[in-house]
Amino acid sequence: MSPLSSGSQEEFVPASQTELSRFMTENAAVDHRQLFPVGGRTSLAVCCPASQTGIQLCTSQLNRVVDYPIRDLTITVEAGMRIDELIKIVSAEGQRLPLDVPQSNRATIGGVIATNINGPKRFSYGTIRDYVIGISAIDGMGNLFKSGGRVVKNVAGYDLGKMLVGSLGTLAVISQVSLNLRPKPQSMSMVWFQFDSCQTIDQALEAVVTSGTRPIAVEYCNAKAASQIAAEARLELPADHHTLCVCYEGPENEVRWQTDKIASEWNQFSPLHVQTVENEEATRLYDAFTEYQTSSDDPVTIKAILLPSQMMKFIETATQLNIAVQAHAADGIVFGHLPDSASSLDDVQQIFNQLKTTIDPKTGYLNIYQCESDWSDSLPLFCSPPAGWDLMKQFKNALDPEHLLNSQRFNELVEI
Amino acid sequence: MVDDTSQTINLSAPVLEKLEAGSRPFSLLIQKLTGIVGKTGILYNADELLVYECDGYIVDKSAPDIVVFPTTTEQVSATVKICNEFNVPFLARGAGTSLSGGCLPIGGGVMIVLTRMKQILELNLRDRYAIVEPGMVNLHLTNALKGTGYHYAPDPSSQGSCTIGGNIATNSGGPHTLKYGVTTNHVLGLEAVLPDGTIIELGGPTAEVPGYDLHGVYVGNEGTFGICTKAIVRLTRDPEAHRTMLAVFQTIGDATRAISEIIAEGIIPSALEMMDHGIIQAVEEAFHFGFPLDAGAVLLIEVDGLEVAMDAEVSKILELCNKNNVREIQRADTPEERMLIWKSRKQAFGAIGRLSPSYCTQDGVVPRTRLPEILEFIEQTSAKYGLRIVNVFHAGDGNVHPILLFDERDQGQIQLVLEASEEILEKCLELGGSVTGEHGIGVEKINFMSRIFNETDLATMEKVRNIFNPRQICSRDKVLPPHGSGNATKVTQTHPARRAPH
């Protein structure tokens, strides 16, 4: 198959993993073009700024189910399978992959792994790293390799799948994945609380540590974000203050017991409003929380990774800066959509500098999550080096010695 | 070899094949290591080294030349640097409970025992993590958390003695992994001394870190990526309530079908442990729990969660067991009764001591629905080799632990054990599984690697290993087969060769 022209970047759409491997082998030997793996193109602003030239490796035709032994609760699929398709297949058997993926009608499983997409349920179910039991991928030289297998428990060999989680296509192109599945719960409800201040929110979050309930997710949003989330869910919910929304899943009696219990536990923090959302409405509200991190038309979305105990200090400053904030609060993962008033790179830099003062650099990270393509070359994704960055450089050199795979993003990762 | 005068480290020099006791480099090495860990932190007399000649995998034995007991990361780093200077291989050991020879010092060298680094450095319930030293005994962390409402979830059967550092090396599992996951799901970050002595940090106490998930790659390295000196682990909320049941089935097939149907119902039990006919008899002879001696399988089923949900889950499980021809079910409704039921499972290995002087535990995995096939195959293998094989295992994960009983004083029996083990693991692969679910490749299963993975897979793993351990001076000859063995299709090693590969 010959590369097709697609705007400023060409595109290659392999029909099989072998074809992709062959193409990448030839590229490494002859053309030395920059390669950008793409799935549903939902995270291009993160993974593949438009200003770069090269070839997009599109996995859209690598979308087959390879093996689905239903009663073993595992599935093996090619990496280009869309998330909504995967959900449909496993849902028909009463199963699910317990992850939250925005834009699931476009996002692919390979993309979810490469960008480490996760959402509210991470508090109780973990993230994609916890569900990949086997992986195949093609390195920068075209070598198709695998690790793990198709059984849920397996320690044979090194866990190479982990290095690809969040690797943004800079080490290898993920081509096939085996996943661990879970049974679908019977029901789900959410309780929407409004509190008067960040301090009260912090106290309520601290109380989650010893709550008699076992939430599936604990979501925070400030007033600006709350009104947008409620509107997206088409629900009449008060949104003038700070919101905590707690989610429960399971048999109906267990869910009802927990929604009542959390309302009574948090009564001591004098919530301004408490409302339980059930059935279809709960699903719509949950989906609105899942989508919100990528739903903005605002120029820049940031992601902060913090200790939960240090999170509200950051959120308070972000709120003062008119940022719409959502957080997977019990995990310390914060998303913020910068206001329209941040209309220049200077404005954005100033906001960043103010936010950074609230972060302990030893236990917190502030990153760009999405931004307008015009700015993506000027705003590094990563604002401080992660632990082990020297080793990361060696991983890049070992798996992609010619630096052909999305290498500008990699450089930002390790050369801040 | 070390240059006595300049002490220059030659990193391209080959790692020593043998360190002669009493030689000048040996004496100099002792002197330098003593300078690091003190006289009370080093052993080098042959009789004292005997205890370190093997771990829980007793088929292969090889004593280290020197054992050191560091108490700080800096001492580990200094020890590793000295080993590099002398080109002497080294490896870490925790409690030595590995069942695959992970702590076997192939070719001798220096063993770095971490049992004196066992402090809890931080407990943080609000942010749900603990920072511990690697020699911390797994159970001691959970004991230290008693009363807080939290625990450390991975609980290998050896949790009373195995260490967190060893768990990280092996990516250990345990009976509760079906619901709570294995070690890698609970490690947030770590500090390690690389095989050149550099101290690094990976991950951290936050829920994730930007960049590559290198702490995830590190977990399960079987000691070949250096020595973990600090672990940041996630803490898990205690369940409010438990319900534990013992279900006696006439056949393994009935028990397996019951498991599949329980899970299909949306119930993920926190534990699903199966004992087969052979182990039931052994446990009964030893402890008199009252199991029927003609039962085909006993299933220990535990569910946990909120009290409000328990009764409905138990009713459903009972219904599904009945549907699958359960003979009888014992229920534990009090903590004391629960302890008694678990005692029957946890003492299973103790009961084996009454059956035979030695045993070798295998660790195959099959898709859960293939359990009847693998167990039938194990029974056939037992008959074929005239070896008694009993089974007690994590049925929910499809992780079988056939226990091969033998007498290690009889060389012929050892060879039979090796051959029977090989056939069983080969069958696990044929059924779509793996040769190790939680014990690791170690030295025991290294020849299987080229049957599970192709040359490209192994070459990629080797690239990753070489990032951490380019000289292969650390925990040598583990996990990856040596070059040139990629085309091996059959295990040809015999016990004497396995005893002293170098």
Looking only at the bridges linking them, the beta strands covering B297-305 and B241-249 are antiparallel
Residues B346, B367 within the same domain: no
Q: In the listed set A164, A183, A202, which residue is the last one of a domain according to the structure?
A: A183
Model confidence at B408, pLDDT cuts 50, 70, 90, reads: confident
| Res A5: pLDDT | 38
Residues B145-161: tens digit of each pLDDT: 999 999 999 999 889 99
CB B101 within 8 A of CB B57: yes
Per-residue pLDDT tens digits for B220-261 = 999 999 999 999 999 999 999 999 999 999 998 899 889 988
Residue of A nearest to B239 (CA): A214
User: Under DSSP, is residue A104 helix (H, G, I), strand (E, B) or coil?
Assistant: coil
Interface membership of A272 toward B (CB under 8 Å):
no
B398 lies within 8 A of chain A by CB: yes
Q: Are residues A338 and A366 in the same domain?
A: yes
Do A247 and A351 share a structural domain? no
Say whether A115 sits in a helix, a strand or coil: helix
Residue B449 lies in a domain: yes
So what's the pLDDT on residue A8?
Answer: 60
Question: What is the structure's pLDDT at B28?
Answer: 96
For residue B499, pLDDT over 70 is answered with no
Q: What is the pLDDT of residue B44?
A: 96
Instruction: Please report whether residue B373 resides in a domain.
Output: yes
Contact criterion met (CB below 8 Å) for B347 and B287: yes
Supply the CATH number for residue B327's domain. Answer: 3.30.70.2190
Estimate to the nearest angstrom the gap between the alpha carbon of A349 and the chain centroid. Answer: 24
Predicted pLDDT of residue A354:
94
Per the prediction, chain A carries an average pLDDT of 92
Same domain as B142, residue B156: yes
| A269 interfacial to chain B (CB closer than 8 Å) | no
Q: In what order do the strands lie in the sheet with B120-124?
A: B120-124, B129-132, B227-234, B187-193, B199-203
Looking at residues A52-73, what average pLDDT do you find? 94
| 8 Å CB contact of B367 and A185 | no
A160 interfacial to chain B (CB closer than 8 Å): yes
Any chain B CB within 8 A of the CB of A238? Answer: no
Please say if the pLDDT value at position B495 is more than 60. Answer: no
Task: Supply the DSSP string of A245-272, one letter for each residue.
Answer: EEEEEESHHHHHHHHHHHHHHGGGG--S
Of the three residues B237, B270, B300, the one that is the final residue of a domain is B237
How confident is residue A387, by pLDDT bands cut at 50, 70 and 90? confident
In a domain, B254, yes or no: yes
Instruction: Residue A263: give its domain's CATH number.
Output: 3.30.70.2190
Q: B206 to chain A: which residues are within 8 Å by CB? A: 305-307, 332, 363-365
Burial B57-83 (b: 16+ CB within 10 A, else e): bebbbbbbbbbbbbbebebbbbbbbbb
| d(C-alpha A63, C-alpha A80), whole Å | 5
Q: Is residue A393 part of a domain?
A: no
pLDDT tier, B11 (very low <50, low <70, confident <90, very high otherwise): low
Domain carrying residue B383: 358-499
Residues B26-52 have a mean pLDDT of 96
> Do B100 and B173 belong to one domain?
no
Say yes or no to pLDDT of A221 above 90. Answer: yes
* Residues B367 and B405 placed together within one structural domain of the fold: yes
Phi, psi of B130 (to 5 degrees): -130, 145
Same structural domain for residues A99 and A138?
yes
Using an 8 Å CB-CB cutoff, list chain B residues near A399.
460, 463
Maximum Cα–Cα distance across chain B: 78
Token pair belonging to A7: 């705007």
Residue with tokens 């490494």: A28
Nearest CA in chain B to A202: B126
Whether B348 and B226 map to the same domain: the answer is no
Report if residue B68 sits inside a domain: yes
- State whether B367 and A253 contact (CB < 8 Å): no
Q: Tell me which residue in B128, B212, B309 faces A163 most closely, judged by beta carbons.
A: B212
Q: What is the per-residue burial (b if ≥16 Cβ within 10 Å, else e) of B402-422? A: bbbbbebeeeebbebbbbbbb
Average pLDDT over residues A321-335: 97
Task: Judge whether B195 lies within some domain.
Answer: yes
Beta bridge partners of A85: none
**For residues A40-65, average pLDDT:** 84
Average pLDDT value for residue range B483-501 = 38
What the block records as the tokens of B263 is 């899970």
* B125: contact with A, CB 8 A cutoff: yes
Contact call for B210 and A159, based on CB within 8 A? no
User: Of B113, B148, B171, which one is at a domain's C-terminal end?
Assistant: B113
Tally the domains of chain B.
Answer: 4
Q: What percent of chain B has pLDDT over 70?
A: 94
pLDDT band at A245 (very low <50, low <70, confident <90, very high): very high
pLDDT at A61 over 60: yes
Q: Is residue A16 part of a domain?
A: no
Residue B209 lies in a domain: yes
Q: Which pLDDT band, with edges at 50, 70 and 90, does A369 fall under?
A: confident
Domain boundary among A129, A164, A183: A183
Q: Identify the DSSP state of B213.
A: -
CATH number of the domain at A144, please: 3.30.465.10
Contact B398 A73 (CB under 8 A): no
Closest chain B C-alpha to A234 CA, distance in angstroms: 30
Of B352, B368, B403, the residue at which a domain comes to its end is B352
- Nearest CA-CA distance, residue B38 and chain A, Å: 31
Give the per-residue pLDDT at B502: 30
Whether residue B6 lies inside any domain: the answer is no
How far is C-alpha B426 from the geometric centre of its chain's CA atoms?
20
Shared domain for B245 and B274, answered yes or no, is yes
A386 contacts in chain B (CB < 8 Å) = 209-211
Domains identified in chain A, total number: 3
Residue-wise pLDDT tens digits, B369-390: 899 999 999 999 999 999 999 9
CATH of the domain at B447: 3.30.70.2740
Residue bearing tokens 């279900």: B247
Asked if the C-beta of A261 comes within 8 angstroms of chain B's C-beta atoms, the answer is: no
pLDDT of residue B291: 83
* CA atoms within 13 Å, Cβ hemisphere of B245: 25
Q: Which of A167, A251, A414 sits opposite B312 (nearest CB)?
A: A251
Q: Which of A158, A206, A210 sits opposite B464 (nearest CB)?
A: A158
What is the share, in percent, of chain A residues with pLDDT greater than 90?
80
pLDDT score recorded for residue B197? 97
Listed in sequence order, the DSSP H helices in B275-306 are 277-287
A415 confidence band (pLDDT: 50, 70, 90) = low
Q: State residue B253's pLDDT score.
A: 87
For residues A166 and A205, state if they share a domain: no
Give yes or no for a contact between B419 and B75, defined as CB atoms under 8 angstroms apart. no
A·B CB contacts under 8 A: 249
Residues B136 and B231 reside in one and the same domain: yes
Local confidence band at A131 (pLDDT 50, 70, 90 cut-offs): very high
What the block records as the tokens of A82 is 């869309």
Q: How far apart are CA B20 and CA B65, in angstroms?
A: 9
A386 or A315, higher pLDDT: A315
Per the CB < 8 A criterion, the answer to whether B206 and A363 are in contact is: yes
Give B83's pLDDT tier (boundaries 50, 70, 90).
Answer: very high
Closest residue of chain A to B125, computed from CA coordinates:
A209
User: What is the number of other CB atoms lying within 10 angstroms of the CB of residue B266?
Assistant: 17
Q: Are A13 and A61 in contact (CB under 8 A)?
A: yes
**DSSP symbols for B312-339:** HHHHHHHHHHHHTTEEEEEEE-SHHHHH
Is B173 in Cβ contact with A153 (below 8 Å)?
A: yes
Q: Which chain B residue shows the shortest CA-CA distance from A154?
A: B437
Least confident of A132-141, A382-391, B266-275: A382-391
Q: Are residues A273 and A361 in the same domain?
A: no
Whether residue A140 is contained in a domain is answered as yes
Three-state DSSP state, A41: coil
Q: Is residue A402 part of a domain?
A: no
The verdict on residue B2 lying in a domain is no
Position A381 pLDDT exceeds 80: no
- With respect to residue A175, please indicate whether it lies within any of the assigned structural domains: yes
Residue B412 in contact with partner chain A when CB distance is under 8 A: no
Q: How many CB atoms lie within 10 A of CB A33?
A: 15
Instruction: Determine contact: A332 vs chain B, CB below 8 A.
Output: yes
Contact assignment for A155 to B456 by CB distance below 8 Å = no
pLDDT mean over B42-52: 94
The answer to whether B429 and B435 have CB atoms below 8 angstroms apart is yes
A209 and A249 both lie in a single domain: yes
Cα distance between residue A132 and residue A126, in whole Å: 12
In this structure, the answer to whether residues B439 and B378 fall within a common structural domain is yes
pLDDT at B4 over 80: no
Tokens 């080799």 label which residue? B385
On whether both A245 and A341 belong to a single domain, the answer is: no
Domain end residue (candidates: A292, A320, A336): A292
The reply to whether B245 and B344 lie within a common domain is yes
Interface probe for A, chosen from B131, B167, B208 (most Cβ of A below 10 Å), is: B208
Residue A286 has pLDDT above 90, yes or no: yes
Across the interface, whether the CB atoms of B467 and A214 are under 8 A apart is answered no
- What are the beta bridge partners of residue B150? B237
Give a yes or no: residue A396 inside a domain.
no
Amino acid (1-letter code) at residue B410: D
Residues of chain A found within 8 Å of residue B125, distances taken between Cβ atoms = 209
pLDDT of A172 over the 90 cut: yes
- B309 and B389 fall within a common domain: no
Q: What is the pLDDT of residue B359?
A: 87
Cβ–Cβ < 8 Å for A303, A367: yes
Same domain, B146 and B248: no
Q: Are A309 and A342 in contact (CB under 8 A)?
A: no
What pLDDT is recorded for position A43? Answer: 82
Across the interface, whether the CB atoms of A156 and B433 are under 8 A apart is answered: no
Host domain of residue A249? 187-292
Residue B487: per-residue pLDDT: 40
Contact A395 B453 (CB under 8 A): no
Chain A residues in contact with B305 (beta carbon < 8 A): 214, 254
Same domain, A233 and A334: no
Whether A210 sits inside 8 A of B466 (CB atoms) is no
Interface contact B127-A210, CB threshold 8 A? no
Q: What is the pLDDT of residue B6?
A: 42
Left if phi > 0, otherwise alpha if psi is -120 to 50, otherwise beta: which for B330? Answer: beta
Q: Are A179 and A209 found together in one domain?
A: no
Is the pLDDT score of B23 beyond 80?
Answer: yes
Same structural domain for residues A125 and A231? no
Is A126 in Cβ contact with B171 (below 8 Å)? no
Radius of gyration of chain A (CA): 22
- Inter-chain contact A153–B365, Cβ cutoff 8 Å? yes
Sign of CA dihedral B78, B82, B83, B85: positive
- The answer to whether residue A51 sits within a structural domain is no
Q: Which domain CATH number covers A358?
A: 3.30.70.120
- CB-closest option in B127, B305, B460 to A308: B127
One domain, residues B138 and B215:
yes
B68, β-bridge pairs? B42, B112
What pLDDT does residue B337 have? Answer: 87
User: Which residues of A are less than 8 Å from B427 in CB distance?
Assistant: none
What pLDDT does residue B124 have?
Answer: 97
Q: Do A74 and A168 belong together in one domain?
A: yes
Enter the ipTM: 0.95
- b/e sequence B141-171, b meaning 16+ C-beta within 10 Å: bbebbeeeebbbbbbbbbbebbbbbbbbbbb
Domain membership of residue A2 (yes or no) is no
Tell me the residue type at A272.
L
User: Does residue A225 sit in the same domain as residue A250?
Assistant: yes
DSSP lists the bridge partners of residue A325 as A336
Is the predicted pLDDT of residue A6 greater than 50, yes or no?
no
CB atoms within 10 A of CB A45: 21
Cα end-to-end span (Å), chain B: 17
pLDDT band at residue B40 using 50, 70 and 90 as cut-offs: very high
Instruction: State the pLDDT at residue B15.
Output: 84
Q: Residue B35 belongs to a domain with what CATH number?
A: 3.30.43.10
The number of residues in chain A equals: 416
CB contact under 8 A, A153 and B437: yes
